[in-house]
Amino acid sequence: MKFKHWKLDTDTNNVIWATLDRADQSVNSLNDEVILELEKVVETVEQTKNCSGLVIKSGKANSFIVGADIRQFTELKNAKQAREVIERGHAILDRLEKLKVPTVAMINGVCLGGGAELALACKYIVGDADKTVIGLPEVKLGIYPGWGGSVRLPRRVGAIKSMGAILPGRAFKAKQAYKMGFIDSAVPARQLKRTVEYFIENTPKHKHPTTIESLTNHRWVRGLLSNQFEKQLNSKIRESQYPAPFAVVRNWVRYGVGRKAFKGEAKAVSELLLSSTSKNLVRAFFLQERMKGLAKNVDFNPKHLHVVGAGVMGGDIAAWAARQGMKVTLQDQKPEFISGAIQRAYKFYKKKLKEPRKVQEAMDNLQPDVKGYGIYTADVIIEAVVEKIEVKQEIFKDLENKARPDAILASNTSSISIDEISKKMEKPSRLMGVHFFNPVSVMMLVEVVKGDKTDVDLYNKGIAFVRKINRLPLPVNNYPGFLVNRILMPYLFEGMLMLDEGYSVNSIDEAAESYGMPMGPLKLADHVGLDICIHVARILAPEYGVDIPKCLSSITDQGNIGKKSGQGFYKYKKGKLIANKNPTKFKKSKDLTDRLIFAMLNEAVSCLRQKVVADHDLLDAGMIFGAGFAPFRGGPMQYIKTEGADKLRSRLEKLEKKYGERFTPDKGWSALKFDKVDC
């Protein structure tokens, strides 16, 4: 039998080795064509009388199956059509699971979503100990595992472990997956084939939950555990905004892990697929893919990064790049400044990498460089010192005389004009901005800022550098505050103005979080640091003709600068928020949420009109990945598109009459067009 995506080989022991290798993609994903061919593979095994086993493997070097082909989600027209797709997958994986011969999923790398569900339908799962990453991340797309994963994983490891994987959409490395029972074995690559053969030949007992883990799936226990699961979910998300994890729990509570659970899964997931939450989260996925592809045709492979400034941002940029395999030299005026950054990097590596060998490799990449010798050989040089234009100008005047002529010179400034910084340079075309967000190890977005004189080819190499260190580049033009900080500023200011008006911190932040923002404006300001907020405010406020809120000035004058000092708009102990047991009573107003959100929407429209970014999709990408703007709403511009520009502009005009000129609709509202952009 001939296949387009699968290849079947039979070894001397009559084991069929089925290799998936999609010729049309660099990685394997599951679409209708691949799934229907899988059915033929299973049928072949069923009809081969002397077959002694089936191994499913990948023809790709570092991945098994990365999940379902997400573009298919966008083609579904109704829940009935979605359910047919899901039930077809159920039927095929059921046949795979019921094969009378031993079956093994041979995992050689990334195995996510539908790939993990396919693996769970096999009797055994064997993974490469170094490359395997396995998980069910579907909740991040507003759905949950729909091809039996929400049933088979609890069967295999019990409810507590499985919900710990499915509800947050967590992925596990091989050793973690083996320890929890997700996979049956984790071995070095050289032993992978032999281990698979061992499982086929000896058919040892496959993974089952322990007696206690099995009890977690029993009806009388499910009700007790569900309360705990939902309590944990409610502490992090709202069901009205992200319904999928709650649907997982309820299907499990109602049906357990029996046959009816599969039908419940199909019904729930088919409905979730058509929800606005899922559509917007899928859109965010494609926005992310678009940014990943921005520099794919740029021939630039930097090996050496030099960072000037070993403060929080500079030190963390250096640590992150070193973790990604780059040689990094870190410069500051005194060794003790660099020492603090090196210590933070070590703690970070130890926590994330765990294995001493990998920690040491990352530390070896990070080199203290007080004298700045790395300047002469670096491919990329990033300045991350204090936000003072005179200091930055002198640094770049010196750097351009020492650096290689082809080296990228970049500032991590969050608010100062790139053109202003470059004024003392002989060749201002060499300078660009690469604005990271704090914390560097968490925030994926990096604004790559093009000044009026920035060389285009060099700028494209800057975008390629950001991808090289596994971050998402957002091309922006050189306007005060660039994109993210500019849109966030009115949000933060409006929250502070409300505080000046007498509203409580809790009511202000709740107004934003009820809309879907991950943090209210006051909590966000505390996390960023009020010292940074007021410094940026003093730069941007004159540019946009606004006044700095009184509460921001007064609180910083008292030396309270937020989370890092233990006191800001909230109180903190050892970096953790201290809950207010007796929150002050506050005035109620239905306008609170609108004031906060429309302040951002209006600024977003202004940014689009001025072409701070190229199009509305990139603006949404910047705000989702740089500011956490309610992902389930798709970003500011997608929200405007969904709700209707005329309707929202009308609401903005009412806010203007009630609260003043800061809500005057930007003239860009009348020119809004939402032409489809290929993400």
3-state SS, 561-621, equals: CEHHHCECCCEEECCEECCCCCCCCCCCCCHHHHHHHHHHHHHHHHHHHCCCCCCHHHHHH
Give the global pTM. Answer: 0.92
What mean pLDDT do residues 239-254 have?
A: 97
pLDDT band at 205 (very low <50, low <70, confident <90, very high): confident
Distance CA 531, CA 551 (A): 13
pLDDT band at 176 (very low <50, low <70, confident <90, very high): very high
Tokens of 669: 């509202």
The SS3 of residue 214 is helix
673: pLDDT strictly greater than 90: no
586: pLDDT strictly greater than 60: no
Asked if residue 665 has a cis previous peptide bond (ω within 30° of 0), the answer is no
pLDDT of residue 678: 45
679: pLDDT strictly greater than 70: no
Q: Please give the angle made by the CA atoms of 489, 434 and 359, to the nearest 5 degrees.
A: 110
Quote the percentage of the chain above a pLDDT of 70: 98
Residues in Cβ contact with 355 at an 8 Å cutoff, skipping those fewer than 6 apart: none
Distance CA 531, CA 534 (A): 5
Q: What confidence tens digit (pLDDT) does each residue in 72-130 have?
A: 888 888 989 999 999 999 999 999 999 999 999 999 999 999 999 999 999 999 999 99
End-to-end CA distance of the chain: 37
What mean pLDDT do residues 249-277 have?
A: 96
What single-letter DSSP state applies at residue 416? S
pLDDT of residue 676: 57
Domain 485-611+644-671 adopts which CATH fold?
N-(1-d-carboxylethyl)-l-norvaline Dehydrogenase; domain 2 (1.10.1040)
Q: Tell me the DSSP string of 282-335.
A: HHHHHHHHHHHTTTTT------EEEEE--SHHHHHHHHHHHHTT-EEEEE-SSH
Distance CA 56, CA 41 (A): 10
589: pLDDT strictly greater than 80: no
Q: Are 41 and 8 in contact (CB under 8 A)?
A: yes
CA distances from residue 446 to 204, 300, 482 in whole angstroms, order as listed = 49, 18, 11
> Is 6-274's fold the same as 485-611+644-671's?
no
447 an active-site residue?
A: yes
pLDDT of residue 433: 97
Say which of 485, 507, 602, 606 is annotated catalytic. Answer: 485
Q: What confidence tens digit (pLDDT) does each residue in 11-58 have?
A: 999 999 999 999 889 999 999 999 999 999 999 999 999 999 999 999
Q: Which strands, in side-by-side order, build the sheet including 103-107?
A: 6-10, 15-20, 53-58, 103-107, 124-128, 185-187
pLDDT of residue 587: 59
What mean pLDDT do residues 621-634 have?
A: 96
Is beta strand 445-450 parallel, antiparallel or unpaired with respect to 431-436?
antiparallel
Range from 12-16, 385-389, 396-400 carrying the lowest mean pLDDT: 385-389
Q: What confidence tens digit (pLDDT) does each residue in 553-569 have?
A: 999 999 999 998 999 99
What mean pLDDT do residues 620-647 have?
A: 96
Say which of 447, 478, 507, 606 is annotated catalytic. Answer: 447
CA distances from residue 29 to 35, 60, 495 in whole angstroms, order as listed = 10, 11, 44
- Torsion-angle region of residue 409: left (phi > 0), alpha (psi -120 to 50) or beta? beta
Query: Diameter of the chain by CA atoms?
Result: 82
Range from 255-269, 464-478, 550-564 carrying the lowest mean pLDDT: 550-564
Distance CA 326, CA 362 (A): 9
485 an active-site residue?
A: yes
Number of H-type helices and E-type strands within the chain? 27, 20
Range from 11-20, 73-82, 155-164, 289-298 carrying the lowest mean pLDDT: 73-82
What mean pLDDT do residues 469-493 have?
A: 96
pLDDT of residue 541: 87
Mean pLDDT computed over every residue of the chain: 94
Domain 304-476 adopts which CATH fold?
Rossmann fold (3.40.50)
Say which of 5, 90, 435, 527 is annotated catalytic. Answer: 435
The SS3 of residue 136 is coil
Is beta strand 124-128 parallel, antiparallel or unpaired with respect to 445-450?
unpaired
**So where are the chain's domains?**
6-274, 304-476, 485-611+644-671
What mean pLDDT do residues 578-606 have?
A: 83
Q: Would you call 401 exposed, middle or buried from its count of C-beta atoms within 10 A (0-12, 13-18, 19+)?
A: exposed
Angle, in degrees to the nearest 10, between helices 550-557 and 530-544: 140
pLDDT of residue 583: 59
3-state helix/strand/coil string of 337-400: HHHHHHHHHHHHHHHHHCCHHHHHHHHHHEEECCCCHHHHCCCEEEECCCCCHHHHHHHHHHHH
Distance CA 588, CA 40 (A): 63
6-274: which CATH architecture?
A: Alpha-Beta Complex (3.90)
CA distances from residue 195 to 103, 126, 187, 234, 546 in whole angstroms, order as listed = 13, 8, 8, 43, 67
Q: Would you call 160 exposed, middle or buried from its count of C-beta atoms within 10 A (0-12, 13-18, 19+)?
A: middle
pLDDT of residue 375: 97
Say which of 414, 460, 477, 606 is annotated catalytic. Answer: 414
Residues in Cβ contact with 49 at an 8 Å cutoff, skipping those fewer than 6 apart: none
Q: What confidence tens digit (pLDDT) does each residue in 497-506 have?
A: 999 999 999 9
